[in-house]
Every structure is written in structure tokens, then in C-alpha cells.
Structure 1
Amino acid sequence: MHNQASDSKYLEAARRIFTHVAETADARISVRLWDGSFVRLGDNATEQWHIAIKGPEVLGTILRKPTLENLIRQYASGNIDFNGGPLIDFYEMLRSRGPRTQGVSSSRIKKRLNKWYLFKQALPLLLARQGDTAITHQFRGNDSGRVQSARDEKSFIQFHYDLSNEFYQLFLDPEMQYSCAYFTSWTEELEQAQQHKLDMICRKLRLQPGDRFLDIGCGWGGLLCHAVQHFDVVGHGVTLSQKQYDFAVEKIRRLGLANRITVELRDYRELSGEYDKIASIGMYEHIGIANYTAYFNKLSSLLRDRGILLNHGITRRAKHSKWQFARITPGRRFILKYIFPGSELDHIGHTLAKMEACDFEVHDVEAWREHYALTTRLWCQRLEARKEEAVRLVGEERFRMWIAYLAGVSFAFQDGSLRIFQTVATKHDRKGPSTMPLTREHLYLSAP
């Protein structure tokens, strides 16, 4: 506990810091200090939407290390809170400016701050004792996955996907689609948009009765079951997640599809045989850019000549230099350590070049960025609405991590720093026609 004199010193320092921020930022939110008092961060700020700070040691910890990861750790451990409504709505409120800074970028506002003044005011807080930010939910191994000899694909996948099937059921649709939905209107329900996605994938693959269909990274089996039930294919899927595998096997049994679908708990690199169509949905983000040649060569070896591949995955914008693109940003560092260890996002141009180098002919590339912004927003809202159940399943810390992750990703897609593409390609093993349709008309006809 702090004595009255030191606590008063900390409070005055905090008020001076946030008052200066308010003069510069003109934000629409407030800060609630540990004594219950509020500092408005703009002329039109409201106390309803506010950041609550648990104590001076929390503010001191953030000031000593003002990184995104540290901020999220403070939130995950309950040392700071965002109040007024759902986190994704709070972030929207934070991004909206008052009249004085309307249209001014965050980077320009930061430049306007008097850094020397802030440092002088922060000194008492910088000397406050270190806050407790112990986090239990994080990947303990080589999370970047860039050292190929240290990559542990199964550990990477199970860290994320084996959290709990019941947890994912709180915010996913009944088909357990953990990838971008396809909306025909921005007011459409998530469940219907995910059905549109499944149909669109099957039409892009031109699935025909009897086709040998492979789903790489098949998740909870939703696409496999949909393809077999509606397009009469013979399906096979692989996953490295034990919980996904168990769920998929039980679903296939319950639907009476065991004679048409097989699923293995297996690395795709161990597969053999030949398939007519292959889907890779939300899979290649886990591969690592250095492994793309091996990845696409393996898919090519599994596909018959003129067979169709649909590669669906998240990408980033290309940069002016390889160094800029390879740099691990603060947001990506958080994702690697706490959410998706071993993941790496390419830019679409490089991916297409790798596909062509591995004997694929690219036919169609479709951007779904805004679809994923809405998908992740809905996931975030649905999960936060079932907070009590989520906390019972995975604990407060993990729940907060996931809310922060889904909200951040939604805005990254909305703003354009993240993108997502569906790429349709055929294996081009010999010269001649591709056998693909002349137009895209087949994509927008009703499924058979």
C-alpha cells in the first residue's frame, strides 16, 4: 500500500500527464484514476467511456515500457480496463476525434506532445514500484518459427486450436467455421454468411459428384461435410489439432457420412495419393514463408493434372524493402507470443509467384478483406456477450487476450493493414487448355 503523501504525488503526476494529452489529442474518452477521479481526454469526452487504471504502479509500468504488448498484458491481467461498452466499440470511440483533431492521424498527434514535459511529470511514476504483470497464457517455445530446425508445427497448432471446442462454440456459427465469412449484405447474419462461404468455395472448386476432395487443415470438418452433403464428393481431411479431430470424427459419425469422409490427425506433408480438388482454408498462414516452395510442391504432388486448388489465406501489404516486410511489428509480436505462434503472413504477389513456380496456373484472385473485418467484429461481439461462460472455460486472462486479439484484427482488416485472398489455380503439368470456364458465371449460380 502507498502512504497518503506518495499517493497524492502519484495522482498529481498522472493528472498533469493526462491533462497535457487531452490538450493535444482531444479524444472522446476519459481516464479513471485509482482514487475514482476522472480526467477527460478532450473537450467532448465522456466519463461513460473511460480507461480505468488500477494503481500508480500500473501507470509506471506502462510509462517505463510503452509497448503494445505491455498494454495488452496490463489489460489481460486486469490492471487496466476499458469501460463503457464492448471493447470493439470502445476502440471505435477512442479512434473518433473531437473537433480540434478531427482527421489528424495518431502519429501526428504523438509528434505534437511535449515529450520533455511528459518525462518530467512522469518521474514520480517511473520510480513507483513495478506492477505485477505475470501472464500464464503464452507460448513458451520459439514463437516466430523462423528457425526451421526449431519449428514444432503440432505445438503451434495445438496451442491455438486445442484451447477448447466449447470455447470456440461460444462465438462461431454452428458449422464451426473459423475463417472469413462471405456476406451478400452487411446486415446478413453470420450463420448465413458462413453458408455462403462454404457454397462459394465448392463452386470455385467446381466440385462434381465422385470427386476426390482433400481439405488441408480441415478444422472441425464443416467444409468436408458440406461438400459431401451438397456436392456428393468423397472427402478426406487432415488436422494437427486433437480437439478438432475428435469433434470432426464425431460430427461425421452423427451425420452418417463415415462412408464418404475420412479424417486423420496427421501432418499434410505425410499425405500420399491423388485428388481431383484441394482446399486449403486458413492454413498457409501457419506454414512460414520459407516453406512455401515445399508447401505448394506438396499440394501439386497430391493433385491430378488440371485438378483445382483453392488457397484461402490472410496476407499483408507489400513493402518497399524486404527488411521492412520481414520486421516483426509490435502487433505481430503479440500474435506470435499469445495467439498464433509460428504464423507468418506473406503479400499476395509473392504467394502467386511461388504458386506459378510450383506448376500452378492462377485463374482467379478475389479479395475478401472487408468480409473478414465484419466476420471478426461479429466474433468479438459474440464472445464478449458470453463472457461468463468464456471465463469459466478458459479463465479471465485468456478471455481478455482473445477479445483484444479479435478487436485488433477486425480493425486491421477494416483499415487495410491486413488483407485476405481466395486464389483459384489448376495444376498445369502439361501444355494445353486449362479446362476452366471462360467466365465467372458459375460462381454466382445456385449450388446444385
Structure 2
Amino acid sequence: MTHTPTPTRDRALDAATRLAGQIAEALQADLSLRLWDGSVVGLGDPARGDIQLVIAGPQTLRALILRPGLATLFRLFASGALAVEGGSPLEALDRIDHGRLMHLRKRLNLWAVARTALPLLLASGDREANVPDWHDARDGEGQGHDRRRDADFIRFHYDVGNQFYGLFLDPAMIYSSAVFPHEGAGLDEAQQHKLDLICRKLNLRPGQRLLDIGCGWGGLACHAARHYGVEVHGVTLSPAQLAYGQAEVARQGLGDRVTLELVDYRDIDVEGVYDAVSQVEMFEHLGFRNHDAHFARVHRLLKPGGLYFHQASVRRGHGPADRNGAPRPTATTRTITRFIFPGGELDTLGMTTTALGRHGFEVLDVQTLREHFERTLRIWSARLYDNRERAAELAGAPRTRLWLVYFALFARGFQRGAVNVHQTVARRHRAGASGLPMDRAHLYAESAAPLSTVIK
């Protein structure tokens, strides 16, 4: 059956074409726009057509005009009303100058745009697909632990399925920034190097006890037990991660050294038991109101002089803050909370080090990994994009599309320095020497214990 376009629809297509031209003049991006009739308009002069932003119908443009913003983009990508073909969302975003994109409104003649867009607002056709918020943008915001649904938040993000995460993570299933030891290192080598770096920063020795908070799929716990001979207690709130991690502990024959549990670390009621505590990118899920309680709990769990490893993504530290000094939510952070990380709030490096000092810690070392996380995210993005059909079978097409957009946004965020990630080592204060070497040579020297070492 052949569809004959109505005059109204012809006017909508004409308006879309002219609107794309106006945007192209201001944006000068190196990619193209494909409209619902198959016509292609370059978004720059010149612009390649190998990567195309695909508009499903006038309703997509109508939604963007009436509700411009990141939340609308997320919904449209999730529903398929807006898509990228010929490359991943990250590859498309790399073709757009960030400064021009952020200041696009200032570069446009808004009256001319409004006149051009009028037929799109009047066009017939189905409205955009209704993709609901998976969480309220303010869910968990500013709330203490007793009011937050932390277990639900964690399961939403991590219980998507172990097979889904296995499509883009390394074999050890490490879902945090890798540390690339040299330019030619791949992700698998970089993640193993990161695990070893954590163990060295904690100065782990055989017979010590390590608590890994938010242990994920057990990668660090197994590495520390196998290569450093420590006894590891790992805790998570994700049943899917726990099942995988326990199976991996059994497979590696580490059941006598590694215990993984489905428990909130704040419910561990002991004092001064652990020689070391690690937290690798779990902190972002806690929320500002719970940071002091976190550091107080870690302090209580550690032995005097015990070491705490803290790896977390942070905001740059500029912009408006609330009366407690915490960064105010932005449209971007609320959109990420709504669709990707419910309950998440990113602090700043200054907030972290100040809170550590306030709760009886001595900060010994801080290392920035911003460019390492950008590279990690680019690899994750490429792997997920290459496996997007299988990912859609496992987790659904909407979630797969959103994860690709999320990787793209954060990769560019780390590239620009809008977000950062740091490894911080702190010590439960005790008078006297820290027990650590005077320099960092022990972390990187060729004489350091090789990754192949297995402590019997």
C-alpha cells in the first residue's frame, strides 16, 4: 500500500529541512540528519553522511521544540524516535563541537527558527512514544539512608543481567575506571593493572583482612586474595552480582579466603576489625546526606592505622552549591539520575578530603584518573555498540540505547574535565609513621610483585 503524503506533511518536511539548515549554519557539525522521508541534510558545511542522526517523524522534532533538554533526548533515543546510524552515539558526539552545541541558542535567530518550526507543531501524526521516567529525578536527592531505597537503586542499575555487562566489560567484570599502564595497553591489561595498583596502595600483606564495600562481581576480592594472600570480605546489594561473584570465588578455589555477602556495609556491627577497606566507585550511589555516615562507618571498621582506598567520580567543584557546600543538581545530573543512576549524587574532591579529615583520617595520596576513565568509557562504548543486537535481546532495546548515550555523555564529560575521577588513600589516624614507603616507586617499580604471583 503506497502512502500519499498530505499537504500538511509536505509542509512539515519542508519546515524540517529548512530548520536543519538553520541549525547547520550555527552548529557546523560533521554529521548529517536523515528525515522520515529518507532525505539527508548535512549539519555542517561540509558534513559527511556516513554517520546520520535519524528522525522518525515530525513528532520527534515537535517534542524537541516543545521540551528541549537532555531528558527529552533520552526519551526519544530510548523509544527509537531518534537514532544514530553509521556509528555509536559517542562517535556522533565526537563530530560536534561542544562549545557550539552548548551555545547553540545564542547562535540561532530564535524568531526565524520559531517561524520555520510552526508547521512541525501543527503537523499530523502519532505523538512521540511514551517512555516513562524509570525513577523520579529527585528520588533519593538530599535524603538520609533511612529514607532512601538504596537496594532498589542498586538493583535497578546492576541487576540488568550479568550477560549484558559481560558484553562490554573485561573478563574480570570490573565496572570502574581502568588504569592504563602504557599507551598500548588494552582494557583487560589495564583493569588487571588497576586491581594490582589498589592492592599496592593498600600495602596488603598475607594474613591481613580486607573489606571491599560494593564488591561488584568479586574481581578485586579474588585478585587480592590470590595475589596478596589476604582474607577478603566483600559486600554488595545486588543479587545478580553476588551470584556471579560467589561462582567465581568457587571456580578459582578461593572459598577459604573470600567471603561475599548480600548485606549493607552499614549493618556490619564490628569495630577495629579490618586492616584495610576499599570502595571502588560505589560512593557515587550514596547521596550527599550519607557521606559523613559513610566515613564514620569506615573509620569504625578499620583498625587504628588501617588504610582506606577510595575511588570515585566527582564534579569539578565550580558552580552553585547549597548551604552545606554540596553542588546543586543540574539538568544533566537529574537526567542521569532519572534514567541511569537513581539516587546518585557526585561530590567534589574537596568535599571528600575534608570529610575524611573531619572523621579522623589522614589523607596520604590522591591520584587523578580522568583520562583513564575517558579511554575506559570509549572502549565500553565500542564493545557495547558492536554487540548492540545481543544487548537488546538481553536487556531490551531502550536500555541498550540509553547505556550507549550514557557512555557517550560521560566519555565526553571526562574528556572536557567536567567530571573527574580520583583514587584517594587515607589512614585511620594514629600517631607515628604511616608504614608506607616515602615515595610511589613501590607502586610502579619493575621489582614490584608481578601479576602472575600466586600466594599459596
TM-score range, shorter chain: over 0.9
* Correspondent of 2:164 among 160, 163, 167: 167
TM-score normalised by L of structure 1: 0.94
> Which piece of structure 1 moves more, 34-43 or 415-424?
34-43
Establish whether residue 128 from structure 1 lines up as the match of residue 123 from structure 2.
Answer: yes
In structure 2, distance between residues paired with 1:49 and 1:153: 39
Is 1:238–1:266's contact at 8 Å kept on the other side of the alignment? yes
Q: How does 1:346-357 map to 2 (within 5 A)?
A: 346-357=347-358
CA contact (8 A) 1:144 1:336 kept: no
Q: Quick one: distance in 2 between partners of 1:144 and 1:114?
A: 40
Give the 5 Å matches for 1:323-334.
323=322, 326-334=327-335
Offset at residue 186 of structure 1 (A): 3.1
Q: Which position in structure 1 is the counterpart of 2:416?
A: 415
**Secondary structure at the counterpart of residue 94 of structure 2:** helix
Give the equivalent residue in structure 2 for 1:100: none
Alignment CA distance shift 1:320-1:107 (3 Å): closer
Pairwise mapping of residues 53-202 of structure 1 onto structure 2 (< 5 A)?
A: 53-95=55-97, 105-128=100-123, 131-135=127-131, 138-139=134-135, 143-148=139-144, 149-202=146-199
What RMSD, in angstroms, separates the aligned Cα atoms of the two structures? Answer: 1.9
Distance 2:253 2:40 in 1: 60
Preserved CA contact (<8 Å) 2:26 2:100: no
Counterpart residue number, 2:289: 290
Offset at 1:58?
1.3
Q: For 1:4-23, what per-residue CA distance to the aligned partner results, in whole angstroms no more than 9, with x for missing partners? A: 11111101111221112222
Identify which of 260, 263, 266 aligns with 1:266: 263
Within-5 A mapping of 1:198-217: 198-217=195-214
Shift of 1:140: 5.9
- The residue identity in structure 1 corresponding to 2:274 is Y
TM-superposed CA distance for 1:325, in Å, is: 5.8
Contact 1:82 1:90 in 2 (8 A): yes
Structure 1 unmatched runs, 5+: 97-103
**Distance across 2 between alignment mates of 1:393 and 1:109:** 37
In structure 1, the residue corresponding to 2:346 is in which secondary structure? coil
- Can you list the C-alpha shifts for 1:15-40, whole angstroms capped at 9, x where unaligned? 22111222222222221111111222
The one-letter amino acid paired with 1:443 is L
Taking a change above 3 Å as real, the CA distance of residues 108 and 288 of structure 1, as seen in their structure-2 partners, is: closer
Task: Tell me the secondary structure at the aligned position of residue 363 of structure 1.
Answer: strand
Structure 1 distance, partners of 2:88, 2:435, is 49
- In the alignment, structure 2 segments of 5+ residues that lack a partner are 451-456
Q: In structure 2, what residue type is equivalent to 1:6?
A: T
Query: What is the TM-score normalised by the length of structure 2?
Result: 0.92
* Change in CA separation of 1:437 and 1:293 when aligned onto 2, cut-off 3 Å: same
Asked whether the equivalents of residues 199 and 447 of structure 1 are also in contact (C-alpha less than 8 Å), the reply is: no
1:379: which partner in 2? 380
Note if contact 1:137-1:338 (Cα within 8 Å) is conserved in structure 2: yes
Give the corresponding residue for 2:453.
none
Q: Which amino acid aligns with 1:210?
A: G
Tell me which moved more, 154-163 or 30-39. Answer: 30-39
Distance 1:92 1:359 in 2: 44
Shift of 1:71: 1.2
Measure, in 1, the Cα distance between the counterparts of 2:63 and 2:138: 26
1:101 is aligned to: none
What is the rounded CA distance, in whole Å, between the counterparts of 1:285 and 1:27 in structure 2? Answer: 33
Matched with 1:304 is 303
Of 83-92 and 295-304, deviating more is: 83-92
Instruction: After TM superposition, give the deviation of residue 141 of structure 1 in Å.
Output: 8.8
Residue in structure 2 matched with residue 41 of structure 1 by the alignment: 43
Report the counterpart of residue 31 of structure 1 in structure 2: 33
- The question of whether the paired residues in 1 share the 8 Å contact of 2:177 and 2:373 is answered with yes
Deviation at 1:262, TM superposition (A): 0.8
Residue aligning to 2:431: 431
- Cα distance between partner residues in 2 of 1:23 and 1:320: 30
Partner of 1:93, secondary structure, is: coil
Q: 364-373 vs 382-391, which deviates more?
A: 382-391
Cα displacement (A) at 1:436: 2.5
Change (3 A) 1:290 1:328: same
Aligned residues: 440
Contact 1:310 1:425 in 2 (8 A): yes
Task: Flag the 1:6–1:238 CA change in 2: closer, same or farther, 3 A.
Answer: same
What is aligned with 1:250?
247
* Counterpart amino acid of residue 165 in structure 1: N
Aligned-partner SS, 1:433 = coil
Identity of aligned residues (%): 41
Range with greater deviation from structure 2 (128-137 or 117-126)? 128-137
Instruction: Please tell me the residue identity of whatever aligns with 1:292.
Output: H
Q: Contact 2:140/2:149 (CA < 8 Å) preserved in 1?
A: no
- CA separation of 1:193 and 1:61: change in aligned 2, threshold 3 A: same
